[in-house]
Structure 1
Amino acid sequence: MAKAVFHKHQRVFVRPVGTWALIERVKPQWVKDVEEPVRIYYDCGLGRDFTTDELSAEAVEQGDPGQWRLMRARNKWQTPEECAHHPQPGTYPVVVTDQQNWGGWRVPGAEYDRDPARIEQQARLIVQAPRLMALAEAIARLGAEDPDASPDWINLARRARDTVRAVKARPDADSDDSAKPLRAAV
């Protein structure tokens, strides 16, 4: 007998297609006089149904959400004397988001030269983004679980939930939020 491993609206990786998709329908295959389904198929809206072994669940990180780190790269275009007004002359921040020092965030030298203090602050914020995301998820979860919470706590949990949704939203999703500037309500 088969049991459903995934549920409707769950985000899964579809291996045969090589893309992420949402499960639109869970389709059990029933046999007469059997109390449980024999097989479970999943409709992901990709033209055919998939079996459990063709799908992978999205990994949910618990605890340590990432090892992003701030590194310094040498400024190739300016000498340390030319950029003496920078916080660390001769270098600029690089946020590395991958274990092998590949992916990450870098800023063009001209933009860094315009306002180095702001770029340094952005780099520190980006490094802390995984921890801030985990914190927002925890606040949203705790706020949803506590029916007797104060109105201030409920409002904070609602803002955390909205922030988590905005971060996890697909860029191609039809939403009015994409046109709005990202500004924290204070």
Structure 2
Amino acid sequence: MAKALYHKSQRVYVKPVGTWALVEKVLPHWVKDVEEPLRVTYDVGLGREFTAGELVSEEVMRRREGGNSADDAVELENWRIYRAKNRWQDGDEVASHPYPGTFPVVMTDENDWGGWRVPGSEYDRDPSKIEYQARLIMNAPRMLKVCRQLSEYASRHSGELPEELQKAVRNCQGILRHVYEVGDSPKIAAE
């Protein structure tokens, strides 16, 4: 059963979007003949409902990081690689794998129950590629922070950047638009 962790009009940081918002509606999801809601989601006016794990209260942000900037919230994202046991093959059968007997699962939730994983057949086809993808996904919040910092630097020093850096800034701005815009986002094309 679920209990509401946030209330209407409470200011929260929305981790997937990287912005602050106010809770507009608390949306309990009820099941017939059950006294408490099965789950609770929150409408914060950003185009979809968010779970409690995707939100951080203002008090928690201050307590954890001593501030309330978007960069501090990115640091709260603790995406990590968990090594799951390979149930379809023993470590002896796949000695050529980077980590025999296991495969990577990227945990993106504080409670170790959300994230990214691949089917066993795909891992067997190219384990090095899947290990690379897991490391890339794990570092995505930090890379997003670098994109944001580079974009902010470029906006403060607009006429002073060399051409190569301007291309990188345009790529960063395209990535940020793609990540933060709700709805139909433009496709990212590397320059």
TM norm structure 1: 0.64
Percent identical among aligned pairs is: 38
- Aligned-residue offset at 1:103: 1.1
Runs of 4 or more above 4 Å deviation:
none
2:121 paired residue among 104, 110, 131: 110
Equivalent residue number for residue 150 of structure 2? 139
How far residue 61 of structure 1 moved from its aligned partner, in angstroms, is 3.1
CA distance in 2 between counterparts of 1:13 and 1:83 reads 49
In 2 relative to 1, CA 67–77 (structure 1 residues): closer, same or farther, beyond 3 Å?
same
Report what 1:89 is aligned to. 100
Q: Choose the corresponding residue for 1:156, options 149, 159, 168.
A: 168
Gap regions ≥5 residues in structure 2: 1-10, 12-19, 28-41, 48-56, 59-67
Q: Tell me the residue number matched to 1:184.
A: 190
Q: How does 1:160-171 map to 2 (within 5 A)?
A: 160-170=172-182
Counterpart in the other structure of 1:62? 71
2:25 to 15, 18, 23: 15
When residues 124 and 183 of structure 1 are mapped into structure 2, their CA distance, relative to the original with a 3 A threshold, is: farther
When you count helix as a share of all residues, which structure comes out higher? 2
Question: How large is the Cα RMSD of the aligned pairs?
Answer: 2.7
Aligned residue in 1 for 2:39: none
Q: Find the structure with the greater CA-based Rg.
A: 1
Give the CA deviation at 1:65.
Answer: 4.6
Of 99, 104, 127, 2:110 maps to: 99
TM-score, with length taken from structure 2: 0.63
Unpaired segments ≥5 residues, structure 1: 23-43, 45-55
Contact 2:147 2:176 in 1 (8 A): yes
CA contact under 8 A between 1:65 and 1:134: conserved in structure 2?
Answer: no
